[in-house]
Structure formats: structure tokens, C-alpha cells
Amino acid sequence: MKHLFFGGIHPNYNKEMSTVVTTFHTIEPKQVVIPMVQHIGAPCQPLVQVGDVVKRGQKIGDGEGLCVPVHASVSGKVIAVEPRPHIRGGEVMAVVIENDFQDTAIEFVKNDLPLEELDADDVLHSIREAGIVGMGGAAFPGNVKALSSMGKVDTLIANACECEPYITADDSLLRTDPEHVLEGMMILRQVLKPERVVLAVEDNKAEAIEKIKALQSDFPQIELKVLPTRYPQGAEKQLVQALTGREVPPASLPASVGCAVFNVSTFAAIYRAVRLGLPLTQRIVTISGEAIKEPQNFIVRIGTRFYDLIEKAGGLNDLTERVISGGPMMGFAQSDLSVPVIKATNSILCLLKDKNGAAENPVCLRCGKCVGVCPMRLQPLYMYRFVNANRVDELNRLNVMDCIECGSCAFTCPGKLPLVETFRKGKKMVREASAK
């Protein structure tokens, strides 16, 4: 039985731009900038000082509470421990390493135990020590999410929908290395012991689907679900509804309806951490858009600066207007290309003038189109008015905190209102009011 989530849109996906190049290129940056903030939660504290020589995979930052460590992605000398620009704005403490190009690594300890003999606590410890976070963009610590799901979920979901336009990082992973994803799913299945394990992918990823089907006889416990392409299919709550028919209540998480959702890149990272002892020091990044000369997917070391990767992809068009971390719908425009790739960076998008952006003098036409496409069943036109009127009471009544900032409302708005930016402001207003 098919379950459709409410709302959604069908933008031009433009994914073929970055899949023309079928092999991964790598980049060896002269230096990497490793932020101590790459996850939701408490920032890491640096464990190294200027002048220290570090190895690839060495832990260089860690902390207490809701925190996972960060590791050196290259070997070399620490040349700075200081605040540096971050993709989410402002500056955060970072460790800057000058690459010695020797790629000297720490010793990685493999684990060859049969799957059924893997201890849940040991697996969660390995996930934590490898610094694994949600790699689809949320960046929530992986061990904490898994621990909070134990005993509460009957369905484990691997999210391969990758519904944002242009981005093909997860698609490329499934086309080239699906075994690691499926092995990672089996490891987390052993920990969470759900009744059902599902890999969900949209039907615009034909090659990835065929690669997974070819392996299904080796992984009979994993169910492949091919979903119709529709944005934002990959949002957790919408994906849960599409696969199970269950609706996650307002202000709740998928675990409240018995589901746990992890990105496919996260599953691959879990496999590498548990079986190979590898910390999260690199990831696949899509660099695409009409303004980049050679769109493609790279295997990128964490801490590589945006301008180094852009240069490796042939550089920018002279008419470039915006560079975005993430996709065009939910990404963050960058004013400083010295910001580094972090664990949750799946795309660098380089665009010409935005034809769908906000107008200079936006006006709400009260057409209601935003209400019809909002996958969370919110009322964007009223939320927009109450943010501008500083009505926190009304924003709470309208559940503004349930906005997933998917941008469907802004995409369909004929008045070109800056809806997503306004709702981010409104959510900040609500948080500040509740903290008083």
C-alpha cells in the first residue's frame, strides 16, 4: 500500500549535471581547517597545540555531553588553533593543519566478529569514537540517535531519497559502493533489533536501484522501497509517512511512531567505523550548478576549503551570483569561500542569478499556494505575517517550530516572499521567548 505525504513540489532536479563524470576525483589540499563544531550539541575542545605533528585519523578535538570527536583528515603540522569562518555563519574554533602529503595514519583496528556476536555497547562506542554524525545535513551525533532508538523502534530506515535538486552524493555512493551501506544497515539492525529494515530511494536513481537489487540476495533482511520522486521526500517525517503510513506528531521525532531514520552515507560510515576502525575524515561531496565549470562528485577530506574544491572543479563562471552549502532549497549561501567542508556537507552549489529568489518588494497575494504545498500542513502565509508583527503567541499556536525549512512554500510563492528566512527568524524569536 502506498502512503503519500501531504503537499510537496516537483522542481527541476538537474541531477544529471554532476553524474556526467562517472568516477570520483579526489583533492589533496595544502591545508585543512577542522572546525570544533561539526555536529548538533556541545562544541569540541582542541586536543592539540600549534606545532604538534598529527597523523591522519588522530583525534584532535573532543568534549563532554552531546558531543562527538573530530579527527585529523591529513597528516602534518598544526599551524593554527583559532576561530575560523563556519558554513553556518560566524566563526568557530578550528584546528588548521598543514598537509605534509605523506598521509601517515594512526593504526586502525579492524573487527571481524560475526554479525550476531557484535556487542551493542561496543558498536555504539565505535560510532561515537569515529565521530559519526547524520551525514544528510542534520549532523546529530550518530551514537546518541541510535541509543535513543533502542527498544523503541520496529522500523529502521535508510534514507537514500536525496530529494534536493542538483545533489547526487548519496546516489554516487550507492552506484559505486552499495555494499558498505548495506553492511552498515545490518550492523545497526543488530543493535536496534527492529522488525523491519528498509532502504528507501526515489525512482529517479535507476542505476543505484539496479546495484542494490543485484545485492539483495546477500541481504534478504533488507527491503528496498522505490518511491515516486517528489520533494521533500527525504525529510524524516515525510519519509516515515511514505513508508509506513504513520504521521509523526508535532514537536516529536520518528522514534515516537516506532521509526529510526539514518542517511545512507551515515550507514556507510558506521560500517567503516565498526569493521575497519576508520574515523569519519572524508566524505563524498557534489559540486554542481550552472556556475561551476566541471560539475561532479569528489571524495573530499573534512576541512578542505570551499575555494580549493571549486578550483579543482574548474572554477566559477564570471556571472556567478551565489555559492551555497547544501542544495538550492535548504542550503546556506556563503559569503566567504574559505569555509571548510564539514561532516554534514553533501554539496557545494554554484548558481547564476536566482530566477526564483525573493523579490525586491515582496507582497503576499493571499493565494494560499504555500498552504497547499507545505508538507507539515502549516499555514505559511499567516506565519509570515505574525513573524513580521512579532506575535510569538500566534507563532506558537501555528506550530512554527515544526517548519522543516524545506522551501516548498517559497518555491511556489508568486509574490516571491522570503518565507524560509522569515520562518528561521520566527523560530529564533520563539526560542528566545521560551528561554526568558
**Could you tell me the end-to-end alpha-carbon distance of the chain, in angstroms, rounded to an integer?**
47
Is the separation of the CB atoms in 243 and 194 below 8 Å? no
Is the separation of the CB atoms in 254 and 236 below 8 Å? yes
Judged by DSSP in three states, 336 sits in coil
Is the separation of the CB atoms in 94 and 36 below 8 Å? yes
What would the 3-class secondary structure string for 355-412 be?
CCCCCCCCCCCCCCHHHHHCCCCCCHHHHHHHHHCCCHHHHHHCCHHHCCCCCHHHHH
What's the full length of the chain, in residues?
436
In eight-state DSSP terms, residue 107 is P
d(CA 373, CA 363): 19
Residue-by-residue pLDDT tens, the chain, 436 positions? 456 788 999 999 999 999 988 888 899 999 999 999 999 999 999 999 999 999 999 999 999 999 999 999 999 999 999 999 999 889 999 999 999 999 999 999 999 999 999 999 999 999 999 999 999 878 999 999 999 999 999 999 999 999 999 999 999 999 999 999 999 999 999 999 999 999 999 999 999 999 999 999 999 999 999 999 999 999 999 999 999 999 999 888 999 999 999 999 999 999 999 999 999 999 999 999 999 999 999 999 999 999 999 999 999 988 899 999 999 999 999 999 999 999 999 999 999 976 545 556 788 889 999 999 999 999 999 999 999 999 999 999 999 999 999 999 999 999 989 999 999 999 999 999 988 7
pLDDT given at position 3: 60
In eight-state DSSP terms, residue 66 is S
Judged by DSSP in three states, 268 sits in helix
Sheet of 70-71, strands arranged across: 45-46, 59-62, 70-71
CA distances from 371 to 4, 232, 409 (A): 17, 15, 7
CA distances from 22 to 150, 159, 313, 430 (A): 38, 22, 14, 46
Is the separation of the CB atoms in 34 and 60 below 8 Å? yes
Amino acid in the structure at residue 354: D
User: Which domains are present in the chain?
Assistant: 110-276 (3.40.50.11540), 369-435 (no CATH)
- Categorise residue 378: left if φ over 0, alpha if ψ from -120 to 50, beta otherwise: beta
